[in-house]
Structure 1
Amino acid sequence: MDRDRRRRSFFDEIFGIDPLQDMEEMFERLSRAMGMSMDNFGQHPFVYGFSVTQRPGEEPEIREFGNIPMFEQTETGEKRYLDIRKPLIDVLESEEVVHVIAEMPGIDKENIQLNATDLILDIETLDGNPKYSERVELPVKVDPQSARATYKNGVLEVTFNKMESSSRTSINIE
């Protein structure tokens, strides 16, 4: 009990959060969404995690990633689990460009589809297993026509020049 109290007070003091409680709540929410109890929670393979970023003077940003449970309704009314993952994504901004880095292992670059507007980058895979899908909100307006994308060793990197624009464009991967 004292060990739990010390751990909570340490994280509360440093981050203002209780990560153990937050993780427990996330797993409970996932198990309810998947329609299973915590007893059989580990019987369905999935990848799930979160990243915490904190910049000086700002609140911590907690982002989920992995194959968050998604279901589709079959014609018979049953729910079918879909193996769609959310890639781990970092968005980095410099004075002139915005970099989006997504970890998507196990995918051929020909199966990745990217679409962008001035404030949003949509990433999804067309074929393959696992499948990935994510909508990334960009921190500033970018020129979608300036996008350059590379995919190597499971890491997708997309770079945009900052600029005012509202057109949507497809992006080829080199």
Structure 2
Amino acid sequence: MDRDSKKRKNFFDEIFGIDPIKDVDEMFERFSRAMGMSVENFGQEPFVYGFSLTQRPGEEPEIREFGNIPMFEHTETEEKCCLDTRKPLIDILETEEKVHVIAEIPGIEKENIRLNATDLILDIETIDGNPKYSERVELPVKVDPQSAKATYKNGVLEVTFKRLESSSRTSINIE
């Protein structure tokens, strides 16, 4: 049996001039460095990644990521990958008077959800849960953070804000 494996290795070496196992190990290490993850984290938690695509009439498509694997652009800003923290699936619905933010964060108790908001940002974070979720949601319009009402049922968090009156537009003449 040992002789057969040497034959196969020599066969690969002679034809391709490579050691396939060594090359796979090197590729895996390069990938993990590029993602900002250490090899020790692999196998401890499942990898989750997904995205949602929203296309509104007359607007550019909006792509939102969720999961616990950051895309490459995050590693350029030195943001380290945290495999135990996931990004929830987020959807934002607008009406004339309100903005609704809906987040899927299953497996978390209501008491372990922390929400903070400004007029343009909603921060969602969970504590003492497995898995943990964390996301900074940029709101499409200014909202009144004091008007926020939140509900959590069956793993779905809904936060509703009143829209702030948009300032009126004024035409400007060029002299």
- Do these two structures clear the TM 0.5 threshold for a shared fold by scoring above it? yes
Distance across 1 between alignment mates of 2:156 and 2:82: 26
Displacement of 1:151 in angstroms is 0.2
2:34 is aligned, of 29, 32, 35, to 32
Matching residue of 2:133: 132
Which whole-Å deviations, capped at 9, do the CAs of 1:113-170 have from their partners, x for residues lacking one?
A: 0001111100001211100000011111111111000000000000000126xxxxxx
Matching residue of 1:146: 147
Which whole-Å deviations, capped at 9, do the CAs of 1:43-75 have from their partners, x for residues lacking one?
A: 4511110111112232221111111259xxxxx
What fraction of aligned residue pairs are identical, expressed as a percent? 77
Higher strand proportion, which one? 1
Distance across 2 between alignment mates of 1:30 and 1:99: 37
Structure 2: any 5+ residue segments left out of the alignment? 1-29, 72-79, 166-175
Note closer, same or farther for the CA distance 1:153–1:31 as it changes in structure 2 (3 Å cut).
farther
Q: Give the root-mean-square deviation of aligned CA atoms.
A: 2.8
Q: Is the 8 A contact 1:87 1:134 kept in 2?
A: yes
Distance across 1 between alignment mates of 2:82 and 2:102: 27
Distance across 2 between alignment mates of 1:80 and 1:63: 17
Asked which structure has the greater CA Rg, the reply is 2
Which whole-Å deviations, capped at 9, do the CAs of 1:3-56 have from their partners, x for residues lacking one?
A: xxxxxxxxxxxxxxxxxxxxxxxxx9778315579xxxx845111101111122
Q: Is the 8 A contact 1:69 1:82 kept in 2?
A: no
Matching residue of 1:48: 49
Distance across 1 between alignment mates of 2:31 and 2:91: 25
Note closer, same or farther for the CA distance 1:80–1:35 as it changes in structure 2 (3 Å cut).
closer
Residue 121 of structure 2 aligns with an amino acid whose one-letter code is I
Distance across 1 between alignment mates of 2:83 and 2:155: 21
Q: State TM-score, norm by structure 1.
A: 0.63
Distance across 1 between alignment mates of 2:144 and 2:46: 39
Q: State TM-score, norm by structure 2.
A: 0.63
What count of residue pairs does the alignment treat as equivalent?
Answer: 125
Note closer, same or farther for the CA distance 1:31–1:64 as it changes in structure 2 (3 Å cut).
farther
Matching residue of 2:24: none
Deviates more, 1:114-123 or 1:61-70: 61-70
Structure 1: any 5+ residue segments left out of the alignment? 1-27, 71-78, 165-174
